[in-house]
Structure 1
Amino acid sequence: MICAPSIAAPDANIFKTINGQPDFLIDFGELEVGFVRTIGVGYSNVGGGPIANIEVGKLHGDDPQVFSIVQDNCSGLTLAPGQSCTLFFSFDPPAMADYSAELLVTSSAPASPELVRLIGTGVIDRIFSDRFQQLPPP
């Protein structure tokens, strides 16, 4: 099972738990170009038996270069019931646009493989996005 902070608002720090869903969405929200946001995602064993052979796949999809797996504390582990591990992902938008990527987490869990989708939007601060009109010299 995957759980992650809800990040609809940039400062939100609420953990939500996703049970039995075929995929999981990490929404980085809007982020100004030139900034990086990192999110920690927990992978927890809520079942009755161990989860073995956890492997976190490579990022792929439309924009894998905009997202990174900053730290993988899960691959190669076996989680006993009640144990968890953490993955850290980052989002670094190079321009104003919508971005997406995905990866698979495989294990001995019944729901394996689990699809993790990452999305985010690059924005420019409003003060710099206004178009200035150039006036002719006096």
Structure 2
Amino acid sequence: MNPHTPAALLAALLLTAPMIGGSASDAGPVLPAPTTALRLTVTGPAPATTALSPDAAAVSAPAARSVTLHCDPAAGDHPRADVACADLDASQGRVDRDSDTACILLYDPVEVRAEGFWHGRSVSFARQYGNTCELNARTGAIFAF
């Protein structure tokens, strides 16, 4: 390689430049440990009836509930954070998993969403379940709030 090429000059500069803020044994910046931080939202189930109320007003849509979940250590405003973190770790970060639980065939839909990170890996999950039994069977304690 020609000693006057840009690559050769750059290599020479890097080898002779003084270290700034460290020694030659430094591997680089210290990165934070991978984190688990999720925003969990549950919408539903729907009101028990779709009939108009006595004053002829339509029944309002179910309100959404949201919590935050942090793991390692378990924290946030999730009421069962330790169990929810254990469920996520057992499934290697999968929110939904197979279940052998038999649920009643009652259609009372529940929508859920999970956004954030599990051990540093991006999570974006949204799904509708037929009822809360199906939700709990397939997601464990993750949406149990």
The two structures have a TM-score, normalised by structure 2, of 0.29
More helix by share: 2
Structure with max Cα Rg: 2
The two structures have a TM-score, normalised by structure 1, of 0.30
